[in-house]
Structure 1
Amino acid sequence: MPELPEVETVRRGLDPFLTGATINEVKLNRPNLRFPFPINMAKRLEGQTIQHVGRRAKYLVVELSSREKLLAHLGMSGSFKVGQYVPDADARVHKQKLSPKHDHVAMRLTHPTKGEVELIYNDPRRFGYMDLIAEDGPNKHLDHLGPEPLSNQFSADHLATRFTGKKSPVKTGLLDQRIVAGLGNIYVCEALFEMCIDPFKPMADLAKAHQKDPVLLDGLTQAIKRTLMIAIEAGGSTLKDFKNAQGDLGYFQHQFRVYGREGEICVHDGCGTRIERRVLSGRSTFMCPTCQS
């Protein structure tokens, strides 16, 4: 499932084509994805101007002139394709080479500098979803989320406060969207490895250690930020389905130091231990049993 760097990569790819564009036509090729589309979604979108393309956690957030926001979650296999509009469907070319039978949402827009633009949402597994919400109203998708990991609000003190008294593993805590928004399995594994922290270590132990010496949790927050920034610059990670809005792959997977490297030698100098895959809360956790002991 796309994590924060992948969604941010998609946002950056869409922004030049969407911000300032007016939505002329919306076609829904089915009544639902993972959940039903919002009531009158096409009519509520048509005629609106896109004012901003943002991201919150793993959601794309498109702000409209109607003072509504279109939220989009990519699920397991969702992707957006964007390009110049071509009236003849047979003449349309996208790098993704995805089957058009999975094109579930199609929009035609007019951009002030790029002209006619086509935006298509393709999702073979239909695990993604979309919603329309009032700009200032309650938001069941976003209101419960913790701070963004790249924000100033995400700090060692924040983690220490949220970890206090918690017996669950630190990896579980970092994947809890109420504690920090947008982190996923890949980047948590990588950051914990960088700081030589056992993913199974109780959160409370790290909170107690922080009271005596803030170095470890300070280092962890910085490792998370650093890992995410590098991944964003690499265009995210492509393990199976992910491509950006122009159809290009992400490349951060070539920099993995632990994720997906089960049985390979630890990259830390002088270690020599093989990376292990263990299961935590039903998810694969990759770690060095020596460095992260």
Structure 2
Amino acid sequence: MQKPEPQDRAYFSVKLFSHPNQKITALAIMPELPEVETTRRGIAPYIEGQTIKQVIIRQPKLRWPVPELLGQILTGASIRSVSRRAKYLLFNTDRGTLLLHLGMSGSLRIMSPAQTAGKHDHIDFIFEDDTVLRFNDQRRFGAVLWTTAPASDHQLLKDLGPEPLLADFDGDLLYSLSRHRKMPVKSFIMDSHIVVGVGNIYANEALFMAGIQPSRQAGRISLQRYQKLADSIRIILEHAIRQGGTTLRNFVNEKGKPGYFKQQLSVYGRAGLPCIYCRQPLTEIRLANRSTVFCSDCQR
């Protein structure tokens, strides 16, 4: 694939709606599956097929220590592909796989080698054409790990549930796994052992689309309603990916500033506002210490 020019913004065809320095309370704090997938699609054309010339590690103390010899291991390695499992980015090389998690505040950007690194720019991956992939993580909850074994066998990935955008995820699966479970259905679909990548924002939105009350016991929901919920999860996530996620960064940006883009949300962040269907005020409760917004009329 030909590498796009930095001025090409075809990937980012969503509408800017606020200044980068403005606080936005209705956006996700932690990058979720659509943000991670958007990141993958944004950076892959710049680095797939390229060889790593140098790795600069400025801060090795992330959620887990960055492997001590990572720079030595990756120097000269070729990036075969960039894939995703749950919220982990997988940089598949001819020597093994680099696993990267964005944590609470992480981001990846394609940078010019002349761009000075900032305080929270912890790792640079420099390629032979001088493209720089820079990992920034203010809170340092992200992770950069290495494995030479199959990535699917890694302890962080091996017990994860199915990807919600693939064929092995459907309502039949949700129904069978939910039997005899008393936990709220929202907590159930946010469990990464059940299905990966359904974070708080998207769980709120999918349950609203499916017409299911978030606090209902998972084991008391019918197969038919789970089939609708599985479809809703897929639709919501695919739409969010098309829109660039709820906290999209500009991946090619010399100033290295995040750009925030509008995401069409029906319930999340809209507590007290009218339901888009029945116009009744939306209700907000706490489930598992997470904000949960729903319509008491439309969701049963």
Same fold at TM > 0.5: yes
Q: TM-score, normalised by structure 2?
A: 0.85
2:216 match: secondary structure: coil
1:194 match: secondary structure: helix
Q: Deviations over 1:24-67 (max 9, x none)?
A: 1001102211221123111111110000100011110110111x
Match of 1:251 among 261, 283, 295: 261
Once residues 252 and 228 of structure 1 are traced to their aligned partners in structure 2, the CA distance between those partners, rounded to angstroms, is: 15
Q: Deviations over 1:181-207 (max 9, x none)?
A: 11100111001001110101111111x
1:52 aligns with 2:64: no
CA RMSD for the aligned pairs? 1.5
Identity %: 39
Residues 188, 217 of structure 1: alpha-carbon distance in 2 compared, 3 angstrom cutoff: same
Once residues 118 and 280 of structure 1 are traced to their aligned partners in structure 2, the CA distance between those partners, rounded to angstroms, is: 41
Q: Deviations over 1:237-279 (max 9, x none)?
A: 02xxx514235645352x10000001110001xx221112210
Alignment of 1:187-202 (within 5 A): 187-202=202-217
Residue identity matched to 1:37 = V
Once residues 259 and 149 of structure 2 are traced to their aligned partners in structure 1, the CA distance between those partners, rounded to angstroms, is: 33
1:262 match: secondary structure: coil
Q: Which moved more, 1:31-40 or 1:178-187?
A: 31-40
Residue number in structure 1 paired with 2:39: 10
Unaligned runs of 5+ in 1: 91-98
Once residues 216 and 109 of structure 2 are traced to their aligned partners in structure 1, the CA distance between those partners, rounded to angstroms, is: 41
Residue number in structure 2 paired with 1:235: 244
- Confirm or deny: 8 A CA contact 1:234 1:250 kept in the other structure: no
Shift of 1:89: 4.2
Residue number in structure 2 paired with 1:80: 108
1:159 aligns with 2:174: yes
2:64 match: secondary structure: coil
Count of aligned pairs between the two proteins: 266
Residue number in structure 2 paired with 1:144: 159
Unaligned runs of 5+ in 2: 1-29
- Confirm or deny: 8 A CA contact 1:231 1:252 kept in the other structure: no
4+ aligned runs moved over 6 Å, structure 1: none
Once residues 226 and 252 of structure 1 are traced to their aligned partners in structure 2, the CA distance between those partners, rounded to angstroms, is: 18
Q: Deviations over 1:202-242 (max 9, x none)?
A: 11111xx22xxx2x22111111111111110100002xxx5
1:275 aligns with 2:282: yes
